[in-house]
Structure formats: structure tokens, C-alpha cells
Amino acid sequence: MYKLQNYISGKWISGEGDGQLLYNAVTGEPITVATSKGLDFKGILDHARTTGNPALRKMTFHERGNMLKALALHLRNHLDKFYQVSYQTGATKADSWIDIEGGIGNLFANASLRKKFPDEPFCIDGESHNFSKSGTFMGTHILVPKEGVAIHINAYNFPVWGMLEKIAVNLLAGMPAVVKPATVTSYLTEAVVKEIIASKILPEGALQLICGSAGDMLDHVTSQDVVTFTGSASTGLKLRSHPAILRESVPFNMEADSLNCIVLGEDVTPDKPEWDIFVKEVRKEMTVKAGQKCTAIRRIFVPENKMEDVWKTISTALSQTAIGNPLNEKVRMGSLAGEGQRSEVKAQVQKLLASSQLVYGSLDSVAVIDADANTGAFLSPVLLINDKPFSSPAVHEVEAFGPVSTIMPYKNMEEAIELSKKGKGSLCSSVVTADNKIAKQYVLGAATHHGRILVLNQECAKESTGHGSPLPLLVHGGPGRAGGGEEMGGIRGVKHYMQRVALQGSPASITAITHVYQPNAKGKDPGKHPFKKYFEELEIGDQLITEKRLITSEDIDRFADLSGDHFYAHIKTTDFTGTMFEQQVAHGYFIISAAAGLFVDSYEKNPVLLNYGIDELRFTKPVYPGAEIHIRFTCKEKLPQDPKDENDIPKGIVKWLVEILDGTEEPVVGVATILTMVAKR
């Protein structure tokens, strides 16, 4: 029988010994064996640190992002192969789409984040700060990739998404990864990693795979490594408490299974569209992946006077869900991932039944299509009712990780909020209501105990990704029982794999180090007008000092007439007693327009293609008639752009620091960052 391969130290290697036999979750037939026995786990981590890490650290964010994009495009060409393997895990086509194409979508989403970062291996984090009167001493923060390896220990329910959503972030940050998927579904992870390695898109050492036990790997972690874990809270606690992790202060990100909840607003009645939206969401979360999702709805809170209507309506919806072989087009819910998972779910439901009542489903039988309910790991959806949620701790503590949910009553929104918190922290919660006052009350009351809250109503339901769908640009994680971790989260997620350093020095030194111009650094003579330089020719610090322009009352009047902005402060006949101004004041937008007239070279075509926008525009003091302004115009930062197609003009975005000065003791009257699109040679 085929033995799963581990990809370590640049080679595909089988583990030693008999290993763990893995089964087709639908037919119960054995399909492969997994083992990592005999692997040199210290050597695996050293290979990542000494080979993969230096290669990734040398790459810029833009290069890493384009690498992720290329990988996503490559994997998309092999979807059919992945789907065929995924069916063996008990997943339907829709389940597999979430896992496989959802994971690839994470690669695309993180690839697009490159545009938020400089074309450098590192980045500035946040604002810079001046610490001296004369502007010679300042500070800022930078982020650099850690020198270690990201170790991902993943759950069995999403063998593709669980890997790709994590490695997308650490690879963009510049760190390699060692992935250890849950053994029971690791054969699907192996299939995807084989394509990744075959593509040769990632540098050697950037990704390694272990199919089987993690062995003594955590014994060899260092302070430069990062460990992430997805799975049960008990296992997470054991790993988080590992002596090496504590000794080395290794960042540990944990996403634990939690008792997520949904709340039906008091305003929702059976005749409203939100009623059907609510029922559909509960059914989906109970049946997608056969309820084997860390984000699945386990607790359902409804107004006490609607309990019977709700459970009957949900039961009817569940009865219409076809269960069976996921290869059959009629099937909407497949099996659990294996017999072990089914036995575990049944045992947990028995604990819940001590204080709850079963109103739909069965633990002993289930009607299936095109399959054998006994040899496959099939289980009926199970809907429970608990009438006393405040005196039944088990319903807020025991999770049956399958198609199982419990309905509970509440008297008012304060009770609903209190009940939602009894789960002691969850990954996500939803509230279904057409009343935004109810939504606000729930969100602000429950937010401390949930990592994500979905407000679901008729307006957003059609395009909403739903209760159980984490989004790659938002944080995925939750407090308390949910692990206290944060995954993905766009730029926030990338920063998790980087070291933040407070950097202090002169503006000139920090400009040279960061390749971003810092105010008060000495500018460079560009030799010619900066707008006459192509993107490659421009240097950070290229600076133009313009001629002066006298601001007159007539200028202000004409701008008021042209723009239609006749705010009282811009009218010279205004009585300025009791106002913030001494006399007629120039429009801020006139001043920035006049600034453009001073720094723009407008007499002939040049490499500047267009004005791309203005960031951080501030007017710091009023400009009165008689003032003379001039501009200090400095090349602040350069961001290359990828061509859209072969006909696109090669170009990049240039950020310019625009300082508007009036020559007084405190000369700055306005400051902005102007963005231009500049052609490459």
C-alpha cells in the first residue's frame, strides 16, 4: 500500500515503520499509510532556517507577493486532481470548494497585499516621530522578517485551506514554513504540496511537509521561530505549555475549536425575510463539511416565544438535506472525516443529552444516498433543545465537532448577550436582525467574547460570505476558549511573522536605512526638475525648492467664485470678531492648488503620466492675503507597479512630500503626500 511521503530537506522521504492506516471516509476502505517515524526534526528546522529563510529574506514584498500569485495560478490548473482526492475525506463538491479554492483564494488575497508594502525586504511600521526642537533626532519603527521558521500544526477538517491560509502570510512576511497537517486527512495536503514543489515557484526550504506525528520537533524551536496551532483547546494548551516554547518565548498563535453562536433578533418574525435567512444560515453551518468546522454554529439563541417555530422550521430544512456519497450530484452533506471522528461526536452528544432534548436526527441511523451508512463515517444532523441555558453549563462547554447544534431561549437582548459569553470566548458569532439598534446593542455587548461578529439581514445576505467564512484580509481568531490568537488579518497577519524594531537616529540616517524620506533630512539636488526623470532615475530625497507666490485677496475671491466655496472665512467683508481668524483667509484647497502650480513642470511632455491622489493632506495654519508661499517638494518613496498586460505602460507610483512654507518662524502652513504615476524608461 502507498505510504505518504514527507517533503523535508529538499527530498521526498517515507517515514519508517508501519505507520497509521488512513481510510476513505465514504467507503471505509484503507487508502494509504502515514508515518513520520525516523525523521530528523532538528535537521528539518535547520534546513528551513539556513536554506529557506535566507532566500525569502532577500526577496522584497513585491517579489514574495508575485511568487504567491504565481503559485495560486499554478494550483488552479490542478483543481480536478485535488477534488478527486478531497472526495475521499467525505467532503462534497461545495465542501471541497471551500477547502481547495478557498485556500487558493487566500494566496491571491495575500499576493495583492504586496501593493500595501514597499519594494523592500522590510517595511516601516506606523508613523515617524520627531524628538528634538531642531529636527535632528527622530524615531520610527521598522519590521524585518524573523530568522526562524513558521511551524504550522493544522486540524483535519481543512487539509488544504488550513495550510494555504497560513503559509500565504508567513511567505509574504519572508519566513519559511514547516506544515504538519492532521494525519487523518494528510493525504490531501500531500497531493497539494507535491504540486507546489513540482512547480519550483518557491525557493528551496521555503516549505516542508510532515505527514504523521510531529515527533520531537518542538524540542528544537528557537526564539526566532513562530508556532501556530489549529485544533482542540486541550491539545493547544499542551503545545503552548511546551518547555521549549516557554523557555525561548516563541510566539504561539492558537485557533481552538469554540462554541460559536447565532442570535435571532427579537424583531424577526416568520413573515420577514430575515427569518428564512436565519434558518438557511443555521442549516448551512450544520451541514457544510458535516459540521466539522471550527467556526460552525453550536449554540442557537432565539426569543423564548419563538422556540417552537424555530426548531420546527430548522428541522424541516434539515430533513431536506440529502446525505451520502459526495460523488453523487444529489448529495448535499457527506460523511465525517473518519470513524474516529464519528465516535467522538456521538460521545459528546451523549454528554449534551444529559441536560438537553433531541428534537431532530438520530445517533443510531441515517438515510444515505449511494453509500453504506455503516462502513462510511456518516451521521445524521442532530438538533437539540435546552430550555434552561443559564443552569446548564454543559451546553456552553461541550462541543460535538460535527453536524450538531443546540437551540436555547432568551427573554431579552441582555440575556442573549450574557448567554453568548458563556462559551468563554469564540471565533465568531452572528446576529440576524433587521433592526440596527438591536445589532448595535448585541455587537457592543458581545464583542469582548468573540473574534468576529456577522450582522446578517436582507441587505447583505445575498453577498455575505456567511457566519462560518473567515476572510483573508480580516483577523481570524478569538479570545478565551478560542485560543486568543489571530490569523490572516491582512497586514496585521503579516506582521505576526516579523520583528518590530524601534529605530532612532537622525532623519538623514533613517532615510538612508528605510529608503523612505523623513522630514528634516537634507534633500538632494535632482539636477533637473524631478518630473523630467523616469521612475528608475528618481532617487529618494530628490528635492525641489520652488519660487515664491504672493497670495492676494483677489486670488481668494476668484477661487471662491470658481469653486463655489463661499464659506464665511473666505469673504473679506466678514466680521471676524469671535472667529478663529483675523481676516479673510485663503481656502486650503486653493493653497494646495497654488502649490501644484509651483512644483508642476507643465511646459512639455514628461515621464509623469498622471496625478494618482493625495494622502495625509493637512492645513496647519491660516494663510492671509499678503503671505508669500513656496514649496519644498521631495521624492519620498517609490512603489513599482506590475504591468496589467503586454500593452501596459511600464510604470510605478512615486510618493512626494509636499511642504507648503510661508517663510515665517514657523513656516509650514500645509503638508501633504502627493502620488504620481511615473513611466519607466
For residue 677, the tally of other CB atoms under 10 A from its CB is 18
Tell me the β-bridge partners of 632.
545, 659
Q: Which residue type sits at 278?
A: F
**Which of 261, 294, 428, 635 does the annotation list as catalytic?**
294
List, in order, residues 6 or more apart from 118 with CB less than 8 Å away. 60, 61, 124, 515, 516, 637, 639
- Would you call 294 a catalytic residue per the annotation? yes
Rounded distance between C-alpha atoms, residue 65 and residue 610, angstroms: 25
Give the number of C-alpha atoms closer than 13 A to the C-alpha of residue 246, restricted to the C-beta side: 7
Report the phi/psi class of residue 28: left, alpha or beta, with left for phi > 0 and alpha for psi in -120 to 50: left
Other CB atoms within 10 Å distance of the CB of residue 381: 25
Residue type, 490: G
Q: Cα separation of 224 and 58, whole Å?
A: 17
Instruction: Give the E-state strand segments of 60-103 in sequence order.
Output: none
HEC assignment per residue over 1-46: CCECEEEECCEEEECCCCCEEEECCCCCCEEEEECCCCCCHHHHHH
Q: Is 261 a catalytic residue?
A: no
What separation in angstroms does the CA of 105 have from each of 68, 71, 102, 112, 179?
A: 10, 11, 5, 11, 19
Looking only at the bridges linking them, the beta strands covering 252-256 and 226-231 are parallel
Contact 188, 89 (CB under 8 A): yes
The answer to whether 351 and 384 are in contact (CB under 8 A) is: no
Residue tagged active-site, from 101, 190, 255, 399 = 255
CA 200 to chain centre: 26
CA dist 212 and 595 (Å) reads 64
Burial of 195 (C-beta count, 10 Å sphere; 0-12/13-18/19+)? middle
DSSP per-residue letters across 275-286: HHHHHHHHHHHH
**Which residue carries 450544520 as its cell?**
286
The burial class, CB within 10 Å (0-12 / 13-18 / 19+), for 28 is middle
Give the catalytic positions in this structure. Answer: 255, 294
